Amino acid sequence: MSTQSPDSFVIDGKLALPYQYFAGRTGSRFLTSIRDEKKIKGLKCEKCNKVFVPPRQTCERCFEDISENWVELENAGTVTGFTIIRYEEPHQPFKPPYILAQIKLDGADTSLTHIVKGVALSQMKTGIRVQAKFAKNSTSTIMDIDHFRPIKPKFELGYSYDELEIGMSASFTKTITESDVYQFAGISGDFNPMHLNEEFAKMTPFGTRIAHGALPQSLIAPVLGMKLPGLGTVIPEITVRFRKPTYFGDTVTATAEVVEFIEARRWVKLELTWTNQRDELVAEGHAIAIPPTPMG
Amino acid sequence: MGYKKKNRHVGIVGVGETKFSSHREDVNQAEMIHEAVRQALDDANLTMDDVDCVVHGNMELFEMIHQPDLWHTLGSGAYGKDAFRLTTGGTTGGTLACAGDNLAASGMYDVVMAIGFEKLQEGHTTGGITNMADPLWARKLQSGALTDSAAVKLIEEFGAERARRAAMTYRIIMDKHACLNPNSHRAFGLDWDQMDDLMENSPPLIGDLRLIHMCSQSDGACVVIYASEEKAKQITDTPVWVRDHITVHREETLDLCNNYYPTDTTHRFAAEKLYERNGITNPLEYFDVFEMYDPSAWWGTDWLKEFFLLEDDDHLKLVENKEIMIDGKMPINPSGGVIAANPIGATALVRVAEAAKQIRGNAGPHQIQKPVNHALASAFGGTMWTVLTMLEKELNW
């Protein structure tokens, strides 16, 4: 007894609730095929044309015995609903937060409740495709499916046309060194002395060596090809107008910003700017981008 | 008493019972229930579409599960139907029988399916029962479901030797009946030459209550289908009519100023009222069979006195003269009774189902050979609950 209040006892109690549950032959067969064959099976009612997972001995609609009509299902399915568990309780399988989802396996008519991992909580949504990941060690329970994970494409891709928005921008910054200029001369074959010969360069309007214009310009390639739209993008057009030279040691930032959708072709137009560490506009222009489309 | 005559007659048109056993690993709860549901539907030649209402019952917390009726739908067939859950302790099966009768009699439903089940092997009965006790005054003091109060009472009244011998006679008779019933959980094949050995050597539980006297913990389900008079006559040529039922309950801990059994037992009180309002003056003569909820041989022996309103040692004589055997003057539990199988939430409904089968004449190997026209079934639960159900072959009262 505790005495939180001076004149009223409160009895603290705790009752254990030990139990067993007999899975039965039908439930056991479902678990056995997951454990031994890594296959999820359902029971089909031919009369109602429904496949039930988890399996049940009788069809809930027509009450027929369907206990022998096993069908093999895909280990993949679609999330039909989900919730994010954020409070902590001792009976939970993991420490929250985690995602509990209803997953309709391909070939089934009912949803199976299970854990989804491998997706950011903020990005979780109904309709995503997930795949069963089986547990390393069997417990002969439904946790022999350890969890479900989103089915990811073989290769990562950048933003698709539908994912892009006006105003999205990305940039890449690099310091241009003498070494970069020498290598670029080799790559391009442009050994113009204004890039390579300091004494010659003193006689030019710039008074010292400058980088090839295409060198800072090329810094937009990692932006478009790896960031925005990103991996898988094709660029059919880039236009550039050069505004300032780039001297050795200058730090150049190349920036792209989505400004227009070309709806007819599902392409986008991006505005391009190059600036240096003195906030001078080095160059400006635009690009037409064909954003990546899902492969395979 | 708020008793009123029924709105319309109700008949039992189908019964189903699983085999009772200590373990049913091969089926889960819903599947086990389904076995009895399927049997009862087949027995009545009905489909689930013909059933208007499903009443489900078991002991609270005995399987340590919450709202079992909801997920048992897969086996019970309650999908899309009106449904109720009852949980009145040991009497659950008896209350299910009352509900089946009342719901069909009310006019709300023409066909009502009553389902009682228990899978005691899955749960922890003491854990469940412990929840019943008053947390402040009783929870730390109770012993569980076992008591030897009936043994104390019989020994005080008739002496140890006679009382012990009567209880063991009762026990052996019940085992002989259980051996006839293919659904029995426990049927040992006991015989009279084992009396002295069992009285001496069966492991003691509490006082004079020994293991052999006590009922088992069983898994199993029972289903009884009730129908209105009109429907019942359409469904079957052999409906068994529910004449009346009565429920009496007293919470013993509210009456601690008296000694145990302070006034009449709920059994005697229920029996008196039931017979009185149905004009039965000599129940021992009237009834052809009695399916009693007898949790132990001691209780079974003692309670005969209460249910048949006997005096002195008449109940002991019934036992000693083996008049309670299947071929005796007053057959008690041709099924073997509760000591043979006790799937608690189903147990009292099994009494009604067995009584109905005896009236129909198709109980199987444990069918009473003489005609059975009037049957009585009882239910018992803690702390003192009694439910009595009267069944009739003819609709002529």
Per-residue pLDDT, averaged over B204-208, amounts to 93
User: Touching check for B132 and chain A: CB below 8 Å?
Assistant: no
From chain A, the residues in CB contact with B28 under 8 A are 21-24, 26-27
Q: What is the pLDDT of chain A when averaged over all its residues?
A: 94
What is the domain partition of chain B in residue ranges?
Answer: 10-127+217-228
Q: Give the confidence band of A267 by pLDDT, cuts at 50, 70, 90.
A: very high
Q: Which of B24, B25, B142 to mutate to test the interface with A (most CBs of A within 10 A)?
A: B25
- The confidence score (pLDDT) of residue A2 equals 64
Beta bridge partners of A103: A79, A112
Do A57 and B74 lie within an 8 Å CB cutoff? yes
CA distances, B243 to each of A214, A289, B121, B239, B389 (Å): 104, 87, 35, 12, 8
From chain B, the residues in CB contact with A24 under 8 A are 25-28, 31-32
A25: nearest CB among B26, B34, B127: B26
User: Touching check for A56 and chain B: CB below 8 Å?
Assistant: yes
What whole-number distance in Å separates Cα of residue B160 and Cα of residue A44?
A: 63
- The confidence score (pLDDT) of residue B254 equals 55
pLDDT at B139 over 80: no
* Angle ∠(B92,B138,B211) on CA atoms, nearest 5: 60
Percent of chain B with pLDDT over 70: 95
Q: Which structure tokens are listed for B301? A: 């022996």
What's the fold here for domain A161-290? Thiol Ester Dehydrase; Chain A (3.10.129)
* Angle ∠(B19,B23,B28) on CA atoms, nearest 5: 85
Work out the minimum CA distance from B266 to partner chain A, whole angstroms: 31
pLDDT at A236 over 90: yes
Q: Which of A31, A58, A113 to mutate to test the interface with B (most CBs of B within 10 A)?
A: A58
Q: Is the Cβ–Cβ distance between A10 and B15 less than 8 Å?
A: no
Q: What is the DSSP string of A78-146?
A: EEEEEEEE-S--TTSSSSSPEEEEEEEETT-SS-EEEEE-SS-GGG--TT-EEEEEE-SS--SSGGGEE
User: Touching check for B21 and chain A: CB below 8 Å?
Assistant: no
Q: Which residues contact A14 (CB under 8 A, 6 or more apart)?
A: none
Q: Rounded to 5 degrees, what are φ and ψ at B270?
A: -65, -45
Do A19 and B63 lie within an 8 Å CB cutoff? yes
Q: Give the confidence band of B172 by pLDDT, cuts at 50, 70, 90.
A: very high
Residue B126: Cβ within 10 Å count? 14
Span A187-221, pLDDT tens digits: 999 999 999 999 999 999 999 999 999 999 999 99
- Higher-pLDDT residue of B169 and A154 is B169
Span A41-52, pLDDT tens digits: 999 999 999 999
Q: Rounded to 5 degrees, what are φ and ψ at A281?
A: -80, 115
What whole-number distance in Å separates Cα of residue B353 and Cα of residue B93?
A: 10
Percent of chain B with pLDDT over 90: 82
Q: Which residues contact B225 (CB under 8 A, 6 or more apart)?
A: B12, B13, B14, B15, B40, B41, B43, B44, B46, B51, B100, B111, B112, B113, B114
A63: nearest CB among B28, B48, B61: B48
- In chain A, residues under CATH classification 3.10.129.10 are 161-290
**Total residue length of chain A:** 296
Span B323-346, pLDDT tens digits: 999 999 999 999 999 999 999 999
pLDDT at B373 over 70: yes
Nearest by Cα to B366 from B386, B343, B341, B344: B341
From chain A, the residues in CB contact with B127 under 8 A are 15-18
Do A16 and B136 lie within an 8 Å CB cutoff? no
User: Touching check for A2 and chain B: CB below 8 Å?
Assistant: no
Span B281-322, pLDDT tens digits: 999 999 999 999 999 999 999 999 999 999 999 999 999 999
Beta bridge partners of A277: none
What's the fold here for domain B10-127+217-228? Peroxisomal Thiolase; Chain A, domain 1 (3.40.47)
Do A21 and B48 lie within an 8 Å CB cutoff? no
**Total residue length of chain B:** 397
